């Protein structure tokens, strides 16, 4: 039975896109299998059992499930230690805890990947005074601009670090609301090596949001001292209802734990409140769900490029995260795309997205996000600020087959609204 009515030409383009993506799908399946085996091994190694899935209340002292999950996660990330908590409100909150945990008044931080994405700017506080920002606490912010091809400038990074006495070098793996390429693990390793060459004592931190399980290695396995991310992106597998993680060298994880709760208390408190089961299940599902999201992104790239749009990355490019950007050129096409994608969501499919102000962003933002978990970026979604070149940033897909339908509905919406002719 044909449940959705698609333009006949669009259906032909869809079939062509899947054929074009076939080899890349095989590569994704191979990465997924490796990562799923790695996660399974971490569960077995740490002897996860039913007792770890229970709950704690109050202070949460001696929560064996919470503490074992930290070690399971550290093993999955190839790290010495980790803290995984439902109490992290977002990826930005998790990153903030890590930054404030490690940096001190008078320290200097150097961002190696150009201007960071919108919501972290207020944390650094480099664009005007923001009460409570790192700048407010006397931490100096500096950044190295990207090269004309939107890749990191290794020579400028080495030069700046050689004399700047920087406490931290900060790397943003994902592109955020920009069109620069996301960073592959090979590129992150290259950046880490460049830092170590000239400033071996500088702490290397990676914002790993959207990048977990996209490749077979994580930044902590190629030189990063500390990484952080959100559990309603890749690492929560579409099951974790909220939360975040910090992983890396044990000394830095402990510093972050002191900021997460209180100095001298750290990770010893914090009741799990029944979330252990969801966080374990989410981590176990994460490699497979990330693979499904990657397939969705590759299909969307192949399809939208075939109907005339510029996409990044292309279908055949190696990926460092799950995000797919599409330059739609006009606000009408962008709005129609997002509304079409919303119409293919399992939750709130009837909602009509409208551009509107959003905290942390300078422009009105439109979001298509019909998700079981509010704001979950591992579930199929598309969002964009209403500014030229009117690019949509698409991510997620709990399973490829339903997400593929969502992508087709997004393109069909542009056809129906007269924003695309095929």
Of all residues in the chain, the percent with pLDDT exceeding 90 is 91
Interval 342-352 mean pLDDT:
96
Q: Is the pLDDT of residue 359 over 80?
A: no
| 202 shares its domain with 99 | yes
pTM of the predicted protein model: 0.95
Residue 14 sits in a domain of what CATH number? 3.90.1150.60
Same domain? For 264 and 288 the reply is: no
Q: 3-class SS at 229?
A: strand
pLDDT tens for residues 132-181? 999 999 999 999 999 999 999 999 999 999 998 999 999 999 987 788 89
Sorting pLDDT into bands at 50, 70 and 90, what band is 209?
A: very high
Alpha carbon dihedral 10, 16, 18, 23, in 10-degree steps, equals -160
3-state secondary structure of 391: strand
The answer to whether residue 2 is domain-embedded is no
Domain boundary among 248, 273, 298: 273
> Does position 1 have pLDDT exceeding 70, yes or no?
no
357 in any annotated domain: yes
Q: What would the pLDDT profile of 32-82 be if each residue is shown by its tens digit? A: 999 999 999 999 999 999 999 999 999 999 999 999 999 999 999 999 999
Mean pLDDT value across the chain: 95
Q: Indicate the pLDDT class of residue 2, thresholds 50, 70 and 90.
A: confident
pLDDT at 354 over 90: yes
The pLDDT tens digits for 253-263 are 999 999 999 99
pLDDT score recorded for residue 117: 86
How much is the pLDDT for 118? 80
Q: Is 2 in a helix, a strand, or coil?
A: coil
Question: Measuring CA to CA, which residue among 268, 157, 288, 173 is closest to residue 230?
Answer: 173
For residues 353-378, give the mean pLDDT.
88
- Domain-terminating residue out of 242, 273, 304: 273
DSSP structure string for 38-82: HHHHHHHHTT--GGGG----TT-TT-HHHHHHHHHHHHHHT-SEE
For 348, the token pair is 């709130």
Domain identity same for 192 and 96? yes
Indicate the DSSP class of residue 250.
H
Residues 337 and 407 placed together within one structural domain of the fold: yes
Same domain, 98 and 216: yes
| Full domain range(s) for residue 25 | 8-37+284-416
Give me the pLDDT at residue 174, please.
95
Determine the average pLDDT of the residues in 236-249: 98
Q: With beta carbons less than 8 A apart as the criterion, state whether 385 and 177 touch.
A: yes
pLDDT of residue 218: 98
Alpha helices, DSSP H, located in 263-308: 276-306
Query: Residue 210's closest CA among 147, 129, 137, 293?
Result: 293
Specify whether 355 is located in the same domain as 398: yes
- What pLDDT does residue 247 have? 98
| Euclidean distance between CA atoms 199 and 26, whole angstroms | 40
Which of 273, 293, 327 delimits the end of a domain? 273
Neighbour count for residue 377 (Cβ, 10 Å): 25
Decide if 278 is inside a domain: no
Q: What angle do CA 90, 250, 268 make, to 5 degrees?
A: 65
Do 260 and 315 fall within a single domain?
A: no
- Same domain for 293 and 372, yes or no, is yes
In the chain, what percentage of residues exceed pLDDT 70? Answer: 100
Same domain, 65 and 191: yes
| 256 lies in the same domain as 303 | no
Mean pLDDT, residues 200-212 taken together: 97
Please, which pLDDT band fits residue 360 given cuts at 50, 70 and 90?
low
Domain membership flag for residue 91: yes
Instruction: Say if 245 falls within a structural domain.
Output: yes
Domain count, the chain: 2
Say if residue 246 is in the same domain as residue 315: no
Asked if residue 213 and residue 307 are part of one domain, the reply reads: no
pLDDT band at 129 (very low <50, low <70, confident <90, very high): confident
Show the tokens assigned to 336: 């129609």
What are the backbone angles phi and psi of residue 67, rounded to the nearest 5°?
Answer: -70, -35
| Pair 210, 377: CB distance under 8 Å | yes
Query: Hey, is 282 helix, strand or coil?
Result: helix
**Average pLDDT score over residue span 91-117:** 97
> What would the mean pLDDT of 237-241 be, rounded to a whole number?
98
């Amino acid at each position: 039975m044909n449940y959705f009515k698609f333009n006949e030409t669009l259906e032909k383009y869809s079939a062509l896109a899947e054929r074009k993506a076939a080899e890349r799908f095989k590569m994704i399946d191979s990465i997924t299998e490796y990562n799923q085996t790695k996660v399974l091994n971490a569960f077995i190694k740490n002897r996860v059992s039913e007792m770890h899935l229970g709950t704690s209340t109050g202070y949460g002292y001696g929560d064996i499930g919470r503490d074992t999950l930290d070690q399971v996660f550290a093993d999955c990330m190839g790290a010495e230690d980790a803290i995984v908590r439902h109490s992290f409100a977002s990826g930005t909150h998790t990153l903030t805890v890590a930054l404030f945990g490690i940096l001190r008044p008078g320290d200097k931080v150097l961002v190696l990947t150009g201007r960071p994405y919108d919501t972290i700017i207020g944390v650094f506080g480099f664009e005007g005074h923001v009460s409570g920002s790192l700048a407010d606490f006397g931490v100096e912010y500096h950044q190295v601009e990207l090269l004309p091809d939107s890749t990191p400038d290794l020579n400028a990074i080495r030069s700046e670090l050689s004399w700047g006495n920087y406490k931290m070098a900060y790397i943003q793996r994902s592109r955020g609301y920009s069109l620069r390429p996301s960073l592959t693990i090979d590129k992150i390793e290259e950046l880490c090596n460049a830092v170590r060459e000239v400033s071996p004592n500088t702490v290397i931190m990676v914002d790993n949001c959207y990048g977990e399980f996209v490749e077979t290695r994580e930044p902590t396995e190629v030189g990063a001292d500390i990484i952080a991310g959100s559990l309603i992106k890749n690492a929560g597998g579409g099951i974790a209802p909220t939360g975040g993680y910090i992983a890396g060298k044990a000394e830095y994880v402990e510093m972050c734990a002191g900021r997460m709760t209180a100095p001298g208390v750290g990770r010893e408190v914090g009741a799990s409140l029944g979330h252990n089961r969801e966080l374990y299940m989410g981590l176990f599902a994460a490699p497979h769900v990330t693979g499904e999201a990657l397939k969705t992104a590759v299909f969307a790239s192949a399809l939208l490029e075939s109907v005339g749009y510029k996409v990044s990355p292309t279908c055949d490019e190696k990926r460092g995260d799950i995000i797919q950007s599409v330059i739609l050129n006009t606000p009408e096409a962008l709005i129609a795309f997002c509304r079409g994608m919303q119409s293919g969501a399992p939750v709130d499919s009837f909602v009509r997205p409208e551009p509107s102000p959003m905290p942390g962003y300078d422009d009105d933002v439109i979001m298509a996000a019909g998700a079981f978990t509010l704001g979950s970026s591992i579930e199929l979604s598309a969002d964009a600020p209403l500014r030229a070149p009117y690019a949509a940033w698409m991510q997620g897909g709990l399973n490829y087959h339903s997400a593929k339908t969502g992508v087709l509905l997004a393109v069909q919406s542009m056809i129906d609204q007269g924003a695309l002719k095929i």
